[in-house]
Structure 1
């Protein structure tokens, strides 16, 4: 069985030392996690690695500021910096083109890669991705990270309440998942420097929705109908703007689709990416 430690790697991506996990052979699939209290690559995608690595060379990154990657102070242009770091990592690993899977904040990074560096992105999978546009979704009164780190500070109870916002089925929040996420959220460097930590820097998201029609890569958009952070109205908007796109919406599912609908999600991604891989092999 693949483990956190057995798949753990480091590489220098420009000025940033990036931590990542790697397993499997074949076409490369770069997985970029979301941004939230205690987020990191393995936490978002580690449970998908065993299955996906049977067909792909899977690389699961920790974004700068998260997990075991360097934690620079980023005050502006966060998505652009993340995208540049991911491209530098791809080059450092001796790769030319990769499939890119991004969830939530990682989806925004994947979009930025696809519009700024189209030659690098083979196919794109956007899961509950930031970067869409919703007319009717109400904005939360306060960010989840401010609630989590405010008051008496992080607690296991607060983390459980936060994860319950990400999942449709709260019974999937096992003790292991809860502890893994909580421990990552209280790591001292994360709390000081991560955008979802206690950093006083405000981060204004890019208006990526204005650039969706620049994406040329075939794109799979994946959403949970009960996503309370990014309503599936965002997904429909992306479908209307990205030329070579298709949309799959899971019922009874929240934001964290790769975990909540694990088997179906793995099969969906493999099927979508295998079309491109097979075509290249025939050529």
Structure 2
């Protein structure tokens, strides 16, 4: 069984940016795209999944642009489109013609946007509480507000991050160790990140256009995505509304849904054994 000692790390130049990634295993390629919470990184978001999936697949886990050890640059006028372009460029640099994509939240939106734009690059999709689904069809959730407000006001604080993670990101906040929060907090206060937060409220004259670009459920290309898709959504998600799962099932031609009880927004972490088994079976 692969362990953390089997991981390799490297940085790949993709266009104007450097993308840091972690790899493990061999077989069909599976790219794991992390969420957009403050201090997120690929390896920390999927720390409970990489080894299990690497028993069957070549697992590739990038730090998304703006996060971790990747270049701190993102197009805020079309963030999901920019992320999709970065992932597509990464696949090209790795000489991967076609890959499974697994995306949580922000990463789910990037995976979905890539599938909408370049279907021949995507084999199967697993989406966990993806962003951009119904985001203009009501007021933001309290969890999403907490996420978007992290760098506002008095700026990033450990208390803000603790509240977001324990009150909104997961169902059982007591299950999240202090060490994980501290790791994410330190990553979130890197000077480059504070100066240019990767995820923030759209503002300025293009704000309305950006909001509409970020609501993928209003894009007619969503109904044209042919990739077999598994949506795994926490029933108690306080960041992105679980009703988005049924919206995707109604819209996408080949979309199955699994609603996980007693689970919040971070389903691959909270329900790791369940997620790993579902992912292995679906991608196989």
TM above 0.5, one fold? yes
In the TM superposition, what is the alpha-carbon distance from 1:136 to its structure 2 partner?
7.5
Tell me, what secondary structure is at the counterpart of 2:184? helix
Contact 1:51–1:266 (CA<8 Å) still a contact in 2? Answer: yes
Q: Equivalent residue for 2:151?
A: 149
In the TM superposition, what is the alpha-carbon distance from 1:47 to its structure 2 partner?
2.4
Q: Equivalent residue for 2:251?
A: 241
Q: Equivalent residue for 1:207?
A: 215
- Indicate which of 194, 201, 221 corresponds to 2:231: 221
Question: How many residues were matched structurally?
Answer: 273
Q: Deviations over 1:241-277 (max 9, x none)?
A: 1111100010000000010001110110000001xxx
Inter-partner Cα distance in structure 2 for 1:78 and 1:120:
20
Mean Cα displacement is larger for which, 53-62 or 33-42? 33-42
In the TM superposition, what is the alpha-carbon distance from 1:44 to its structure 2 partner?
1.1
Q: Equivalent residue for 1:259?
A: 269
Q: Equivalent residue for 2:179?
A: 176
Cα 1:197–1:79 change in 2 (3 A) is closer
Tell me, what secondary structure is at the counterpart of 2:240? coil
Inter-partner Cα distance in structure 1 for 2:282 and 2:248:
17
Inter-partner Cα distance in structure 2 for 1:137 and 1:248:
24
**Which ranges in structure 1 are unaligned for 5 or more consecutive residues?**
275-283
Contact 1:149–1:198 (CA<8 Å) still a contact in 2? Answer: no
Cα 1:83–1:147 change in 2 (3 A) is closer
TM-score (norm 2): 0.89
Cα 1:146–1:92 change in 2 (3 A) is closer
- Indicate which of 277, 280, 283 corresponds to 1:273: 283
Tell me, what secondary structure is at the counterpart of 1:46? coil
User: After TM superposition, which residue ranges in structure 1, 4 or more long, deviate above 6 angstroms?
Assistant: 197-201
Inter-partner Cα distance in structure 2 for 1:102 and 1:198:
21
Whether 2:189 is the aligned partner of 1:186: answer: yes
Contact 1:97–1:120 (CA<8 Å) still a contact in 2? Answer: yes
Tell me, what secondary structure is at the counterpart of 2:39? coil
Mean Cα displacement is larger for which, 184-193 or 67-76? 67-76
**Which ranges in structure 2 are unaligned for 5 or more consecutive residues?**
none
In the TM superposition, what is the alpha-carbon distance from 1:7 to its structure 2 partner?
2.7
Cα 1:124–1:146 change in 2 (3 A) is closer
